Amino acid sequence: MALPWVEKYRPKSLNELISQDSIIETIQRFIKNDQLPHLLFYGPPGTGKTSTILACAKQLYTPTEFNAMVLELNASDDRGIGIVRDQIMSFASTKTIFKKGFKLIILDEADAMTNDAQNALRRILEKFTDNVRFCIICNYLSKIIPAIQSRCTRFRFGPLSDDKMNFRLDHIIQAEKVDITEDGMKAVIHLASGDMRKALNIMQSTHLAFNKVNEENVYNCVGHPSKNDMLSVINWLLNDDFTTIYNRLIHLKTLKGYALQDIMTEVSRFVQMIEFPKKVLIHILEKLSDIEYRLSNGTNEKLQMSSLISTFIMARNMSEFKPKAITA
């Protein structure tokens, strides 16, 4: 069975990584000087955190040594104190007779670990430093307790730039013979927002579903609001009355199956592209952030859609507001 492209084209060495150059250079120096500390990688999804440490492990150990010297755990599955006391403690405390040097424990998605598990882990970090190194990976640094943060060297992985993503995607397009248009590539990169994993999944899904990766097929495949639909939504919000906007949004969501969260994401992007007076812009962004927060907590979509419409009608009633017609 064919592998997903995310795994098929995962970098196998540090030299194959296309971004985070300063981080890669620093880790290369650590390895060269045989002074690898405990590591803490954090940042948005799909920015190369797991790929970096796996490539690092493949540079440190031969294929035959890998299973004996590396323990990879996903803390989303093994998140309790029991896994720390049993599996991690057992692996960290056992020395190997086949190879000198340290073992490596990779804790992915560590921000899902309970506080009790993290507190148990901090002692292991100190006690077994001569035998093991940890790489703790998370999306949200604030969910890792300060005691663990202070014991690790921290690296923040930022979203990938469009140029870097373009370069990597071009390589995969040629290898897989993907029929992709220029607007299709722009749509993939736009929707991915710096997340390489998401970009590859979108491109592979569209390729398998439609054979041709163009803008229309990309948006249809992922169910994300298209540019034309969003231009219509923005013009409604800026010019029509409440009832008209509400009915049109309900019709659009029913017809296309759009989620209000996705519409909100695109509305906020368009708002920052329009030259609103500062007072109007601040009002709209503040209200949009409140609506997004409420949506993330599972509130009623119809009520929040009404709130979205009300936000723009209130903005239109401000003395600074001037009616606008937005075009592509």
- Percent of the chain's residues with pLDDT above 70: 92
Using CA atoms, how far apart are residues 124 and 229, in angstroms rounded to an integer? 54
Answer for the pair 215, 184: CB distance below 8 angstroms, yes or no. yes
- pLDDT surpasses 70 at 105: yes
Tell me what the pLDDT averaged over the chain comes to: 88
Q: What is the pLDDT of residue 45?
A: 92
Q: Give tens-digit pLDDT for 199-238.
A: 999 999 999 999 999 999 999 898 889 888 999 999 999 9
pLDDT band at 125 (very low <50, low <70, confident <90, very high): confident
Locate CATH 1.10.8.60 in the chain.
162-222
162-222: CATH number: 1.10.8.60
Using CA atoms, how far apart are residues 161 and 48, in angstroms rounded to an integer? 13
Indicate the pTM of the whole model: 0.83
Assess if CATH 3.40.50.150 describes domain 5-156: no
Which one is predicted more confidently, 63 or 97? 63
Please name the CATH architecture into which domain 227-316 falls: Up-down Bundle (1.20)
CA nearest neighbour of 283 among 324, 318, 309, 235:
318
Locate CATH 1.20.272.10 in the chain.
227-316
Q: Which residues of 176-203 are buried (b: 16+ CB within 10 A; e: fewer)?
A: eebebeeebbebbbbbbebbbbbbbbbb
- Joined tokens for residue 116: 């009790």
Q: What is the pLDDT of residue 303?
A: 95
Q: How far is CA 10 from CA 136, 139, 176, in A?
A: 19, 19, 15
